[in-house]
Amino acid sequence: MIVYHNPRCAKSRNACNLLAEKGVDFKTVEYLKNPLTTQDLTAILKKLEMPASALVRKTEAAYKELFKGKDLSEKEWIEAMIKYPKLMERPIVVKGKKAVVGRPTEKVLELLSPKP
């Protein structure tokens, strides 16, 4: 399991704490220090089963200053998040072919139990 993590984010820390409490072995990737590639983000979005625009944090200053009100393509949103990684919702937790955004934190539990 991989947690794309920002240690300054309470939700991100909560997701890591929840996984640790459940005894889950996971790896953290601090995506602000180790930026994702276009290929990485595209693969994550596929696992999340969501368009890039849905992963954008609309409260971030970069969004408000540079992107608010603009109609960007999927590729352009991905490029924007690569250039400005703070735009990405967090934490993103990936297990195999599935992923969730850990907001609320309990969403992470969806990856722990197999669905019938």
Task: List the catalytic residues.
Answer: 9
For 76, half-sphere exposure in the C-beta direction (CA atoms, 13 angstrom radius) is 6
Cα 61–Cα 52–Cα 25 angle in degrees, nearest 5: 95
**Closest to 81 (Cα-Cα) out of 38, 22, 29:** 38
**Rounded distance, CA 114 to CA 116, Å?**
6
What residue has token string 């889950």?
A: 24
What residue has token string 């089963």?
A: 49
